[in-house]
Structure 1
Amino acid sequence: MAVPKKRTSKSKKNSRKANWKKQANLQAKQAFSLAQSVLTGKSKSFIYNSQVDEE
């Protein structure tokens, strides 16, 4: 027979949410940093072709 699960506490829920937001914020910072380095031409680890082939 199906038994309902125990309720997750607010502190555990908030902790998981904070961790998720922290990871998302870190990814956003890294993406922004890479975009800045590509646009300024200082990127060492990203190959970027600045000339667009026009036909």
Structure 2
Amino acid sequence: MAVPKKRISIPKKSIRKNIWKKGGYWAALKAYSLAISLSTGNSKSFIVRKISN
């Protein structure tokens, strides 16, 4: 038989939500940093082929 879960307090809910949001923030920051390094040519982890005309 299904039993309803206990209610999570508002402070605990907001703490968990902030931790979850912070994960997205760090992922976005890493992606932005990688994009900057690729665009400037300073990337050490990716080899980018430059096309010259």
TM-score normalised by the chain length of structure 1: 0.81
Partner of 2:51: 51
Amino acid at match of 2:14: N
**Identity percentage over the alignment?**
54
TM-score normalised by the chain length of structure 2: 0.84
Q: CA deviation at 1:51?
A: 1.6
Q: CA deviation at 1:30?
A: 0.5
Q: Report the Cα distance in structure 1 between the residues aligned to 2:11 and 2:23, rounded to whole angstroms.
A: 18
Q: Report the Cα distance in structure 2 between the residues aligned to 1:26 and 1:2, rounded to whole angstroms.
A: 38
Q: Aligned-pair RMSD on alpha carbons?
A: 1.4
Return structure 1 stretches of 4+ with deviation > 4 angstroms. none
Partner of 2:11: 11
Partner of 1:42: 42
Q: Which runs of 5+ in 2 are unaligned?
A: none
Partner of 2:24: 24
Q: Which runs of 5+ in 1 are unaligned?
A: none
